[in-house]
Amino acid sequence: MLNEFYLFSIIEKLIVSYFMTINSVYLLLTVGALIYVRKQLLQSDVVEADALFKTELFKSISILVPAYNEAENIVESIESLLKLEYPEYHIIVINDGSSDDTLQRLIDHFDLVETEIYYNKQIGHQPIQKIYQSPDIPILTVIDKKNGGKADALNAGIDLAETDLICSIDADSILEQNVLKKLIQTFIEHKNTVAAGGVVRVINGCKIESREIKEIHTPKNFWARLQSVEYIRAFLFGRVGWDYFKSLLIVSGAFGIFDRKAVIKVGGYLTDTVGEDIELIIRLHSYHLRNNTDYQIRFLPEPICWTEVPTDYTSLKNQRNRWHRGLADSLWRHRYMLFDKTYKHIGLFVMPFFLFFELLGPVIQFFSYIYLAVSLFLPSLFNLPFILLFLAVSILYGMVISLISVLAEEIAFKSYSSFKDIFILSLFSFVENIGYRQIHGFWQLKGLIDFFRGKKNWGEISRTGFQ
């Protein structure tokens, strides 16, 4: 009996220590992000940026838009890209063998005509069947290729691009008009930058006129509101915090800018993974650290990409399952970096954190909640101090971090149009930690199991289109 008491005591201490550690790291990242955001806002100068781009210092960029069955959003998305404020950019839409009328809508709306363009094939991808251009819009090119997946489509776009930089965005996304000016400054000011990401926000619920966002509102859909809180915490203060500590491991596939030569040098996107975004960033880290080459991978708080998020249970479950399988696949492929001083702080601290807390976290969380449930009904395990402490560090602590992120975002950027929107987000920062966080952990756990079972498909996600 005494041995059992000590065993249960150790289990309880480990559970509390886990949740205390992970939430403390998130709080540290949030604090670091607040410091960094304040510094960035004080230093930001649009006039200086405009003057910079009047010189010959700016870099050319190709915006790559992989599209598979994106008929609902594709025209609106491309129209918004045509309004970007930047001296020299090219839009390359890659129709990845869509089974709907994505390609036909592009042809009809932009009066596309088939053309022949020579390109140097440097990265492997499925065959390009046709290339279209618009006589009236010379910066727009549309590739029609055999289906090979998002990564394969991006590789085709990289081959066709002849610019200094490439920007990958999802077809269901809209960029703010000055986003390129803001984000590309880091490539100009810091020549060793190989990748940079910006904030991705939820477009559901926003008022859109003439393919521009006129008013920012919280979504009306329950699942989308939860994701709004998630995106603020994860992008604006999670990834900004990682950037503050020079430890960024993820640039979202929804919006990222890369040095084209650097991407080609490491072989482009891998086509046999569902986590092509995080895998590429880890591979860039690995290549430059192994070769002891000076480089930067940045994340900036101001540039914003707006994207449509899933609004039904099944679509959201499939998306998060895929994200976790992608994380598992990327960490497994690059397991050689773990605890290897060759890869400096990325191998010694960042990747181990992602392994034990992000990847395996759902496993620990699942058994922690099982243990909590059992302890509530078994007198021999019932320990009121443990139960209260567990709820405090696992749920209450998470609520505080989410609420700080939401309020700090509004103080820094004043994005939302009304007090009602802020109130809803604040309310959902509490709701998110009770029920949804646990369900989300179960989806991730299922994703980890599916990874070990060899599941490779993306899963169906329903789209409603921009309203």
Which residues fall within 8 angstroms of residue 405, CB to CB, at 6 or more apart?
30, 229, 232, 233, 236, 237, 429
The chain-wide mean pLDDT, for the chain, equals: 89
Q: How far apart are CA 158 and CA 271, in angstroms?
A: 14
Q: What angle separates helix 222-231 from helix 419-431, to the nearest 10 degrees?
A: 90
- Residue 447, pLDDT > 60, answer yes
Give the pLDDT score at 182. Answer: 82
Rounded CA-CA distance 174/81 in Å is 7
Q: What is the pLDDT of residue 294?
A: 95
The two three-digit tokens of residue 274, written as one number: 């569902």
pLDDT of residue 44: 57
SS3 280: helix
Q: What is the DSSP letter of 277?
A: H
Question: Domain ranges in the chain?
Answer: 59-315
249-304 residue pLDDT tens:
999 888 999 999 999 999 999 999 999 999 999 999 999 999 999 999 999 887 78
Query: Beta strands of 53-211 (E only): which ranges?
Result: 61-67, 89-96, 113-115, 128-133, 140-145, 165-169, 173-175, 193-202, 207-209
For 129-187, how does the pLDDT look when each residue is reduced to its tens digit (9 = 90+)?
999 999 999 999 999 999 999 999 999 999 999 899 999 998 878 888 888 888 888 88
The pair phi, psi for residue 91, each rounded to 5°, is -110, 125
Cα separation, 182 vs 151, whole angstroms: 26
Determine the CATH number of domain 59-315: 3.90.550.10
Question: What span, in angstroms and rounded, lies between the C-alpha atoms of 318 and 300?
Answer: 28
Q: Report d(CA 119, CA 122) in Å as an integer.
A: 9
Residue 444 Rama label (left phi>0; alpha psi -120 to 50; beta): alpha
Per-residue pLDDT tens over the stretch 329-344: 999 999 999 999 999 9
Contacts of 274 (CB under 8 A, 6+ apart): 322, 325, 326, 329, 456, 457, 458
Decide if 146 contacts 126 (C-beta within 8 A): yes
Of the listed ranges 49-63, 220-234, 312-326, 388-402, the least confidently predicted one is 49-63
